[in-house]
Structure 1
Amino acid sequence: MLQVWNLCLLGLLTQVRTSKALRDVSGFDTAPPKIAIIGGGIGGTSTAYFLKELFEDNAIIDLYESGAIGGRLATLPIAGYNYEVGGSIIHPKNQYMVDFTSKFGLQKSRACSGNVGLFNGEEYVYRDDSYKFVNFVKLLWRYGWDVYRLKQLTDEMLTNFARIYTLQTEGHAYQNVTSLLYDMDPMFSKMTHNSSAAWLKGFGFHDLMISELITAVTLCNYGQTPDVHAFVVRGGNKRVAEELLKHSRAAYLRRLVAEITPNGQGHFKVTSSETETPDSRVFSEENPSNIADSDLRSQDYDIVVIAAPLTKDNNNIKFVNFTKEFDFPGHYERIICTMVQGKVTPESLLLTPDDAIDEILVTNPKLMFNSFGKQCPVDAHDYSYDNPDVWKIFSSAPLEEDQLNIFFSKRNSTNVIDWLAYPHYDSDQKLGDFELLPGMYHVNAIEWAGSAMEMSIIGAKNVALLAYKYWLQNPNAGMKMPLKDEL
């Protein structure tokens, strides 16, 4: 499993700043292209935004999304407040997300503060204290110098990962995920052929660290280390996707794409249907039904960008009459997000009423949940005791009523959100292509290296650059070089 993926789950993506003394050497004198983007999540909306930056007003962009803008970024109203149920955390070193938040004037809310416990089903092998120094001593006592060595290794990897920001600012683009990883660090592409456990053992890390701390993070979707300082966007992270679409000036077509067909001379025909999408579609990825043939409509495009997951078991788009056969291997992991407003029974979690643990990460994959944590609303100005008690439970399978009744003595409301959250990663991971054909691209190919908001935006930037170079038939389009001083 690629370690970059683990770093994405930890929220530890970094940033670099590049020189402002750059000039574009592309030139632009062609007719405006018609571009279709399929998918309105963070990948699709950021693609639209980057295309607008590159083409300026010299492109016509349609964005197809049958549900709500944001995709796997979504909020749920509970007791008068809104809570994140999808992509939750933005680390301060996620350069693109941080820049978008600032550029669009979005306010930041701090993430819930609270104590974390690592639970193996029988006992808590680690519990947070109120003091960071005490927490470090506790971790050091249990895991030894592996804690310090892991930080050193992570810092080194993040420095290398940050090269992507410089490369993309300079206009570099990659047809496949492997070459993108290689330019960041040749080690990254090699890591796709090792499991996380094997890779860490190769660096001399002990089994206890891997089986407990690393397992707890990877089991918990959007997991965070205890001392990571992060923030969320007030109103929910989906606000970033909404602003990206607004600033791209792309047309938002609330339609479901059913088919893509080559239409001669390098053009593509996109066939879609209008959908009556219920509100619950924001919180699930079920296929819309009852689509009549009379609802179908086709439109020709010069460039098509697919910003949605494509796998053999979950591919609703048909590729018709292509001479190339497309292979989309793998599958996405199902994550059930159960949001409960109610009163927790501490004894059910092997806690006492006086225990100050707000987030439980599990080290045992056989338990019925992956994480169990108290939530803060995304639209509150401050977090006070007046906020309702809302809990988020991540699990691999739906929790039954009798199971929920064990954890809660009282439930005011219960909402279940069924996500296909992120790819299932293999120890020898096959990476995909951004360019399916000249003029047709797949943003989500990057998810097989790492699944996170920032990774999707990196994939979107890469695809936008590929499309720009393709349209101008110039591999140097979008490339920037330092200005030379005049004598």
Structure 2
Amino acid sequence: MYSDHKPRNREADLVELTIGFTDQSSSSPNSHCIESGSMLPLSLFVSLLVLHLPHASADGDICIIGGGISGASTAFFLTSYTSTLGGAQLRVFERRQKVGGRLGTVTLAGDSFEAGGSIIHPRNLHARRFADLLGLAVKTGGDDWLGIWDGKSFVFQTARPPPVGSSWWRRKLHSLVNSLLLLRRYGLSLLKMDKFVQEMLRRFMLFYNGMESRPVFATVEEMLQWTGLYGLTRRTLEEELLDAGLNTRTIAELVTVITRINYGQSTHISGLAGAVSLAGSESGLWAVKGGNWQLAAGLLKTSNATLHLQEGIDSITDAGDHYVLRSNSGSEYECMVTVVATPLDELNITFSPPISIPPRKMQHTHATFVRGILNPRYSEGDMAAYKMFSRAKLDDGLLDQIFRARIETIRINWAAYPHYQAPEEFAPIVLDGKQLYYVNTFESAASAIETGAVAAENVARLIISRLSLLPQAQQQQPHIIKSFAEQESQRRHVDL
């Protein structure tokens, strides 16, 4: 499959390719994919709630493990919703040398390209507000060209985009022609697919009701049941779309390529993850100029957290009234609250006493960046930058078949998102019934920049509400949850 996809995830021109490999779970083994993103909405909070937090001793810190979007959002919401942390120091541990987690960039022939989470949906209001708050410039998508390759030839192609700088009417005509081409091949299934996605978005937006009408959730199941989305995690996307009236061609071709690129998986993923994936194929997608990782960096800076770079956590021990975190540097930290804001599935953190979470595999996506010239069999063109997604490493032999010439090649292997399989199981948000929290359990519902922020916002509220229930003798000064409306009048700019 070939696609010059929107938005252009680049600071320079970038063409995206996806290489598909056959497997028995795929509903269309030879279909190759376009890149899509998956992100969702946010609300304006208007109520002011007064809560109390216990005074923390000098060694009673609030510790967050993970400097990606989930950890950074947790730190941001904790400090934004409260006037003080009760004397506690906020610490964030990141095992890599740079924050951002699965948000990152690569430099190819002097140009910067998104390597991880690369696009953001226009209704991702948390991400939008973050970018505005931090004063980050954004870029939007341009005209695109979609082609679906079945292993031998293109079974479907849209019209190639007009030259850069073309007039508005020419670009509008190009968009209209592509819409007609899609409608001719997939018919009314396109409208039914859009209706399915819009209903999911409508329900998801309930998460952004004001605090006075939105509960604090103790489990992911409660979050999803409250919005009416839980049922979508119990069945596959293919089952949901067939019930919605989509024809098999649309599912086997168009839907399959979207889920392949978005989650590296087939239409056998759970319905909610699939719906989020399809939402990422809509128009209006955007990204942060210079890289989406700046969202995490900026949020951490505004939270005034103490950042421990290149310091991973090896063990977490319950010491009664606090947790002892031991890092790979040999240091120990005493934490009143500990938040795990990174997937536990491929980390070797020892918990004492042990915790119990359902098994979950992470889906690895191989991103390969090439500066080169395509083999004329696939496309005519000059030297350009190409971004390819695959579920296995692309060796030099295969790349030499795809490209007539290669100047530079960069490979990245991401543990990008969970391997989705309906019905989904969810780890607890509160891992031990005390003050040990897990943000990334929500990824079993859907994985995206925005869903990480949604989960983090709930965890921050949960921490504040549960700490307020501690004995009154341990409580000191009032702890205020501030509204977004109040924050709007106190907009801050951060130099990254």
TM-score normalised to structure 1 length? 0.79
- Structure 2 residue corresponding to 1:189, chosen from 230, 250, 262: 230
Cα offset, 1:344, TM superposition: 1.4
**Partner-residue secondary structure (3-state), 1:333:** strand
Q: Distance in 1 between matches of 2:142 and 2:373?
A: 18
Q: Structure 1 residues 248, 232: CA separation in 2 closer, same or farther (over 3 Å shift)?
A: same
Instruction: Calculate percent identity across the aligned residue pairs.
Output: 30
Q: Is the contact made by 2:373 and 2:406 (CA closer than 8 Å) also made in structure 1?
A: yes
Q: Aligned residue for 2:336?
A: 302
**Partner-residue secondary structure (3-state), 1:106:** coil
**Partner-residue secondary structure (3-state), 1:436:** coil
Q: Distance in 2 between matches of 1:195 and 1:84?
A: 30
**Partner-residue secondary structure (3-state), 1:62:** strand
- Structure 2 residue corresponding to 1:397, chosen from 392, 399, 403: 392
The amino acid of 1:427's aligned partner reads A
Q: Distance in 2 between matches of 1:252 and 1:114?
A: 40
Q: Structure 1 residues 400, 175: CA separation in 2 closer, same or farther (over 3 Å shift)?
A: same
Q: Aligned residue for 1:13?
A: 40
Q: Distance in 1 between matches of 2:48 and 2:41?
A: 25
Cα offset, 1:474, TM superposition: 7.2
Q: Aligned residue for 1:293?
A: none
- Structure 1 residue corresponding to 2:240, chosen from 199, 215, 234: 199
Cα offset, 1:202, TM superposition: 1.8
The amino acid of 1:211's aligned partner reads A
The amino acid of 1:11's aligned partner reads S
Matched, 1:426 2:469: no
Q: Distance in 2 between matches of 1:91 and 1:427?
A: 25
Q: Aligned residue for 1:291?
A: none
Query: For each residue in 1:79-122, what CA deviation from the matched residue of structure 2 results, as whole angstroms up to 9, or x when unmatched?
Result: 22211100000122100000000111000122354311122222
Cα offset, 1:13, TM superposition: 2.3
Query: For structure 2, which runs of at least 5 residues remain unmatched after alignment?
Result: 1-24, 26-34, 162-173, 264-276, 472-478, 484-496
Q: Aligned residue for 2:186?
A: 143
The amino acid of 1:180's aligned partner reads M
The amino acid of 1:23's aligned partner reads L
Q: Distance in 2 between matches of 1:424 and 1:259?
A: 26
Matched, 1:453 2:449: yes
Q: Aligned residue for 2:291?
A: 236
Q: Aligned residue for 1:288?
A: none
Q: Distance in 2 between matches of 1:44 and 1:206?
A: 41
Cα offset, 1:12, TM superposition: 5.6
- Structure 2 residue corresponding to 1:258, chosen from 280, 289, 314: 314
Q: Distance in 1 between matches of 2:281 and 2:121?
A: 13
The amino acid of 1:221's aligned partner reads N
- Structure 1 residue corresponding to 2:197, chosen from 131, 151, 154: 154
Q: Structure 1 residues 411, 113: CA separation in 2 closer, same or farther (over 3 Å shift)?
A: same
Q: Is the contact made by 2:362 and 2:419 (CA closer than 8 Å) also made in structure 1?
A: yes
- Structure 2 residue corresponding to 1:473, chosen from 439, 457, 469: 469
Q: Is the contact made by 2:318 and 2:324 (CA closer than 8 Å) also made in structure 1?
A: yes
Q: Aligned residue for 2:117?
A: 87
Q: Is the contact made by 2:82 and 2:480 (CA closer than 8 Å) also made in structure 1?
A: no
Cα offset, 1:135, TM superposition: 1.9
Q: Is the contact made by 1:104 and 1:243 (CA closer than 8 Å) also made in structure 2?
A: yes
Q: Structure 1 residues 111, 405: CA separation in 2 closer, same or farther (over 3 Å shift)?
A: same
**Partner-residue secondary structure (3-state), 2:48:** strand
Aligned length: 411
Query: For each residue in 1:203-229, what CA deviation from the matched residue of structure 2 results, as whole angstroms up to 9, or x when unmatched?
Result: 222211111111110000377766622
Q: Distance in 2 between matches of 1:109 and 1:194?
A: 36
Q: Structure 1 residues 31, 297: CA separation in 2 closer, same or farther (over 3 Å shift)?
A: closer
Cα offset, 1:54, TM superposition: 2.6
Q: Aligned residue for 2:4?
A: none
Matched, 1:215 2:256: yes
Q: Structure 1 residues 15, 271: CA separation in 2 closer, same or farther (over 3 Å shift)?
A: closer
Q: Is the contact made by 2:315 and 2:325 (CA closer than 8 Å) also made in structure 1?
A: yes
Q: CA RMSD in A?
A: 2.7
Q: Distance in 1 between matches of 2:282 and 2:243?
A: 26
**Partner-residue secondary structure (3-state), 2:209:** helix
Q: Distance in 2 between matches of 1:121 and 1:237?
A: 33
Q: Aligned residue for 1:64?
A: 93
Q: Is the contact made by 1:38 and 1:64 (CA closer than 8 Å) also made in structure 2?
A: yes
**Partner-residue secondary structure (3-state), 1:394:** strand
Cα offset, 1:170, TM superposition: 5.6
Q: Aligned residue for 1:283?
A: none
The amino acid of 1:397's aligned partner reads A
Q: Aligned residue for 1:75?
A: 105
Q: Distance in 2 between matches of 1:75 and 1:480?
A: 34
Q: Aligned residue for 1:292?
A: none
Q: Structure 1 residues 170, 412: CA separation in 2 closer, same or farther (over 3 Å shift)?
A: farther
Matched, 1:44 2:57: no
Query: For each residue in 1:37-59, what CA deviation from the matched residue of structure 2 results, as whole angstroms up to 9, or x when unmatched?
Result: 00111101111111111333323
The amino acid of 1:241's aligned partner reads A
Q: Is the contact made by 1:307 and 1:444 (CA closer than 8 Å) also made in structure 2?
A: yes
Matched, 1:268 2:323: yes
The amino acid of 1:327's aligned partner reads I
Q: Aligned residue for 2:19?
A: none
Q: Distance in 2 between matches of 1:391 and 1:169?
A: 48
Q: Aligned residue for 1:26?
A: 51
TM-score normalised to structure 2 length? 0.77
Cα offset, 1:403, TM superposition: 0.6
Q: Distance in 2 between matches of 1:442 and 1:12?
A: 20
Cα offset, 1:315, TM superposition: 2.8
